[in-house]
A and B are shown apart, each in its own frame.
Chain A
């Protein structure tokens, strides 16, 4: 239960039936090079193992032991350096799962090396940097896919489909909550350093902002954020962040992300979409199982299809077939602009407008990296 409470993972664990959503037989096999062998790398490695068109080729981590362990489990090689991995002809796609403040530089290096990139969110820590990275991949004519993995999850697709078929009429307001207890280690954890992680709006909030923008089908115009440091007053980042987004269409989304709740292994995952003709509600026990045990109490997520596998399949289609990536890099840049505004609002206590960077100039390869996706 505690693992599923982490917004970096889809709230629904996966089933062995996940392979049923993979690409047609005998696709071109892409070699994956994982940079950063932290916990999220395992999810990508599992997805690669389940996809017939992808294999984990190489792993690099500054902690050689972590790289070796991951590579050993999946039969991959261990790269002695980042440069070696980027130069490895067996690597077609880089999967980047390093601390947030490294994303810009490593992404630019990947583009310069002519590799495709699956970049864990957040894209970067400023919208200007995000636009620079997107432009670099357009110019390199390689694919950039940002890991807004929730978009590929069962629940997110179900919400989008319900809205699209008019089940609640015109969506007007919504709540999206992913709230759990502490998982961020001790005071030295890089996530707690606002310079390295960007704070909660960047580290986890972008998942929610991206979903709100997608579900409500309108860009975010302004934000109002209420931040709290629940676990300890000495924290330098808010561990509970409630951001109210207003879209250009006038709809409103309350996005709540928290690592400060008790009991520690609590996992609250809540969706409410209110429309002109009704409301779509994910109840607290919607997954059907509730745990009452000495080591935890609360809803138990039901297994579903792997969003990491779906995400990897999108990437495979883009690299081998020229399909559009989903979400588009433009959406990923917008999520960063929203996170910037959300952080500024938390600091000022005022409503802050979202300022998107100027769009990157058009490029012949734009079809590969821009598009609405599904």
Chain B
């Protein structure tokens, strides 16, 4: 189980997201620093066969800061897990390496963590979900947040009775800016996945989504989802992005999760972020109110954290972040879900919600 991590791919250049740098490498470093039995021992390499200068620059930075090197062939020797950020554009054009990587990992029995599958072309995701039903985990990290893990445990054992509603907000700062494929696919997918994790089964039902387009000042979309999930769980989610974004802005949910954690560097980065003014680096509003027939849970994902009062108010996080938990779970093979089939179902749900917004009507999903 113990071994290194292979960082495969550096994303899609036009997406502006650089998740290997801001999310996964920091989480891997947290785990290496913790040094617990079974934790990763290092980064084996950065696989980036693309000649795109932007992607090569990303790969070079990752290799330099992880003490590894850029490689253009897949090598899984001694690798405990692969973290994959495929280039959606290359995969859409049939020029990607995703299928080759997933096959190699399946053959070697190495688990793969796949960055936001809902941003992939639908036919690519459908094909991968069919060919690789196990061994690949969608990187929907908020469901691995310690607060959500605690809620899931309570719900699964009947501690709330039967669920009747979940209401949540995922409101981020400018982060890395509005996503070109829309925040329903990029951001709301996290909140929907949390709901799915809390319910414990695939989401089907009826409802609406309303999407306010990006503002003229470059601010992101605002999304309101109101649905009834079978058999009778009312779900409302407010999702949105304020400000116009910066790839290095730590206020996005992914960057914040990447910088959180127990390491001093992570704590400092998070504290710096939380001292910033609104729109320039505050942590996300990310919380869920979970209502059951016999009680309710209030989960605030801006936690676990302590307040630090000096000349300014800042925060001192403690414990693992959602990303730490996800990466650790993939390496230890305890995080098989959500798999690609789950991600595909989520992509179909998002497509239905896009239809609701476009046609201003309630839709079945």
Q: Write out, one digit per residue, whether chain A residues 264-300 have a CB within 8 A of any chain B CB (1) or not (0).
A: 0010101010111111010110000000000000000
Q: Of B161, B242, B291, which one neighbours A277 at CB under 8 angstroms?
A: B242
Contact B219 A277 (CB under 8 A): yes
A272 in contact with B236 (CB, 8 Å): no
The distance in angstroms between the C-alpha atoms of A175 and B223, with both chains bound, is: 12
The 8 A CB mask of B212-250 against A (1 = contact, 0 = none) is 100101010011101110001010101010110000000
CB of B362 closer than 8 Å to a CB of A: yes
Measured CB to CB, the nearest residue on chain B to A177 is B167
- Which residues 236-285 of A sit at the B interface, judged by CB distance below 8 A? 240, 242, 244, 246, 250-252, 254, 256, 258, 260-263, 266, 268, 270, 272, 274-279, 281, 283-284
**Given A172-B240, A266-B296, A276-B219: A351 and B362 interface contact (C-beta under 8 Å):** yes
- B200 close to chain A: CB less than 8 A: no
A352 to chain B, nearest CB (A): 10
Contact check, B238 vs A272: say whether CB atoms are below 8 A apart. yes
**Is B234 a contact of A242 with CB atoms below 8 Å?**
yes
Chain B 166-191: CB-based contact to A (< 8 A → 1; otherwise 0): 01010100000000000000000000
A224 to B227, CA, bound (A): 10
How many angstroms from the CA of A252 to the CA of B234 in the assembled complex?
A: 17
Check if B296 sits within 8 Å of A278, measured CB to CB: no
A-side interface size class = 35 or more
Give 1 or 0 for each of B331-365: 1 = CB within 8 Å of chain A CB. Answer: 00000000000000000000000000000111000
Q: Mark B75-107, 1 if CB is under 8 A from A, else 0.
A: 000000000000000000000000000000000
Number of A-B contacts (CB under 8 A): 127
Closest-CB distance, B162 to chain A (whole angstroms): 10
Residues of A within 8 A of B291 (CB): 179, 258, 261
Shortest distance between the CB of A212 and any CB in chain B (Å): 12
Q: Which of B234, B240, B282 contacts A240 (CB 8 A)?
A: B234
B161 and chain A: residue at smallest CB distance? A262
B259 to chain A, nearest CB (A): 20
A169 & B206 in contact (Cβ 8 Å cutoff): no
Q: Do A173 and B242 touch across chains, with their CB atoms under 8 A apart? A: no
Contact of B278 among A246, A251, A278 (CB under 8 A): A278
B224–A351 touching, CB < 8 Å: no
Contact partners of B361 in chain A: CB under 8 A: 350-351
- Name A173's contact: one of B207, B222, B279, B292 (CB within 8 Å): B222
Q: How far is the CA of A246 from the CA of B210 in the complex (A)?
A: 9
Which of A258, A270, A276 has the most chain B CB atoms inside 10 A of its CB?
Answer: A276
Contact B219 A262 (CB under 8 A): no
The verdict on A230 contacting B293 (CB below 8 Å), with A242-B234, A272-B238, A279-B171 known, is yes
CB closest residue in chain A, given B282? A278
A244 touches B210 (CB 8 A): yes
CA distance A252 to B238 in the complex (A): 10
Main secondary structure on B side of the interface with A = strand
Pick the most buried of A173, A266, A272, A350: most chain B CB atoms within 10 A of its CB. Answer: A173
Q: Is A349 an interface position by the 8 A CB rule?
A: yes
Residues of B within 8 A of A170 (CB): 215
B295 partner, pick from A226, A251, A262, beta carbons under 8 A: A262
Q: Give the number of residues in B that approach A within 8 Å (Cβ atoms).
A: 43
- Contacting residue for A284 out of B282, B292, B298, CB 8 A: B298
The one of B222, B234, B243, B279 that contacts A172, using a Cβ cutoff of 8 Å? B222
Interface residue A139 (Cβ < 8 Å from any Cβ of B): no
Give the nearest-CB partner of B174 in chain A: A277
Write out the residue numbers on chain A whose beta carbons fall within 8 Å of the beta carbon of B207: 224, 226
The reply to whether the CB of A228 lies closer than 8 angstroms to some CB of chain B is yes
Assembled-state Cα–Cα distance A256/B238 (Å)? 13
- In the docked arrangement, what's the CA distance between A172 and B239, Å? 11
Docked-complex contact B242 and A279, CB < 8 angstroms? yes
A222 to chain B, nearest CB (A): 8
Contact A244-B226, Cβ < 8 Å, known A173-B240, A277-B278: yes
Contacts A169-B219, A251-B212 hold; do A277 and B234 have CB atoms under 8 A apart? no
Residue-wise, chain B 14-26 has the 8 Å CB interface mask toward A (1 for contact) of 0000000000000
- Enumerate 6 A-B pairs (CB-CB under 8 Å) in ascending A order: A172-B215, A173-B212, A173-B222, A177-B289, A254-B226, A351-B362
Nearest 10 CB-CB pairings of A with B: A278-B278, A172-B222, A276-B219, A252-B224, A244-B226, A226-B234, A173-B222, A279-B171, A274-B240, A254-B236
Q: List residues of A whose CB falls within 8 A of some B CB.
A: 168-170, 172-175, 177, 179, 222, 224, 226, 228, 230, 240, 242, 244, 246, 250-252, 254, 256, 258, 260-263, 266, 268, 270, 272, 274-279, 281, 283-284, 349-351
